[in-house]
């Protein structure tokens, strides 16, 4: 059976680039999205037109019923789940910490932390060799924000990514002997729509000069590191944080 990978938030940006590359490397790909079905269908079409296999997976990762339904769909697909990329993530609007309202905080923590935990939980249940699985790998998409703290921008987002890094460490240790490797990637400024959603469509341009390499990264540059961490090339790498940030 083909190896199957679940990529959350795969309708655009880093998730979409990872979905395309995973398909090119031989995975059947579960393409999750929450809102933009047309974009997610477009990614599935691109994969299938290149002779790959894709499964469209609608669902809000912060809604447990949706997550359980997604995993039911994965179980019913004719492929063998071996990998998860916890990529779905959101950021609140840039602004001072004192102005964060509870709705913003809840959304950030629900999607970035709770959603990632739910997807990781339902993946390890299936992959653990102790529960009869064949092992596999998880990559959590964290952020350079976890070590920078993102003052004056989005400290809540930075904290949510630090939580993901703690999950990476804990799961790597808990499941290392059960055939599951767990790592984080920590992108810096990557050219995607997420900056516009933070109210700063010019953020890539504005911050590129602060990056030692003097440019933003592309989603494809992040996808290549994710696929490396999932592959046997990284067979002794677990509990690691890989910065993909042009030296920042």
Window 81-100: residues binding ligand NAP (CB under 6 A): 87-90
| Total of residues contacting ligand NAP (CB under 6 A) | 32
CA torsion angle for 11, 115, 181, 144 (degrees, to 10)?
70
Contact predicate 1/206, CB 8 Å: no
Compute the least distance from the CB of residue 15 to ligand NAP, in Å.
5
Contact predicate 145/207, CB 8 Å: no
Task: Mark residues 45-84: x for contact with ligand NAP by CB under 6 A, - for none.
Answer: ---------------xxx----------------------
Compute the least distance from the CB of residue 203 to ligand NAP, in Å.
8
How many angstroms separate the CA atoms of 164 and 23, rounded?
25
- Does the footprint of ligand NAP cover residue 7 (CB under 6 A)? no
- Does the footprint of ligand NAP cover residue 21 (CB under 6 A)? no
Contacting residue, 111, 139, 146, 225, with ligand NAP by CB under 6 A: 111
Instruction: Tell me the window of 27-35, 43-51, 68-76, 77-85 that interacts with ligand NAP (CB under 6 A).
Output: 27-35
Q: What's the residue count for the chain?
A: 248
The beta-strand segments (E) located in the chain are 3-7, 28-33, 54-58, 80-86, 136-141, 180-187, 241-244
Active-site hit among 27, 100, 114, 157: 157
- Listed in sequence order, the DSSP H helices in 25-144 are 37-49, 64-76, 102-109, 116-127
Query: Is 236 an active-site residue?
Result: no
H or E stretch covering 202? none
Q: Of the two residues 4 and 61, which places its CB atom closer to ligand NAP in the complex?
A: 61
Interface residues with ligand NAP (CB under 6 A)? 8-15, 32-36, 39, 60-62, 87-90, 111, 115, 141, 143, 187, 189-190, 192-194, 197
- Active site positions, annotated: 157
């Amino acid at each position: 059976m083909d190896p199957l990978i679940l990529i959350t938030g795969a309708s655009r940006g880093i998730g979409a680039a990872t979905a395309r590359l995973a398909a090119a490397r031989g995975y059947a790909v579960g393409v999750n999205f929450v809102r933009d079905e047309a974009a997610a269908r477009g990614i599935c079409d691109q994969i299938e037109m290149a002779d790959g296999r894709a499964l469209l997976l609608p669902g809000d990762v912060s809604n447990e019923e949706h997550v359980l339904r997604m995993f039911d769909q994965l179980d019913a697909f004719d492929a063998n789940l071996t990998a998860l990329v916890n990529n779905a993530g959101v950021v609140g609007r840039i602004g001072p910490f004192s102005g964060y309202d509870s709705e913003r905080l809840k959304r950030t923590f629900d999607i970035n932390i709770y959603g990632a935990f739910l997807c990781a939980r339902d993946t390890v249940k299936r992959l653990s060799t102790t529960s009869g699985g064949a092992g596999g790998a998880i990559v959590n998409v964290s952020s350079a924000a976890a070590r920078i703290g993102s003052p004056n921008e989005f400290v809540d987002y930075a904290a949510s990514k630090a939580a993901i890094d703690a999950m990476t460490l804990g799961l790597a240790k808990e499941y290392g002997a059960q055939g599951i490797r767990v790592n984080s990637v920590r992108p810096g400024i990557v050219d995607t729509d997420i900056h516009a959603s933070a109210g700063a469509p010019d953020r890539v341009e504005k911050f590129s000069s602060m990056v030692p390499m003097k440019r933003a990264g592309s989603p494809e540059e992040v996808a290549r590191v994710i696929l490396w961490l999932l592959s046997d090339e990284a067979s002794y790498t677990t509990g690691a944080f890989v910065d993909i940030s042009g030296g920042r």
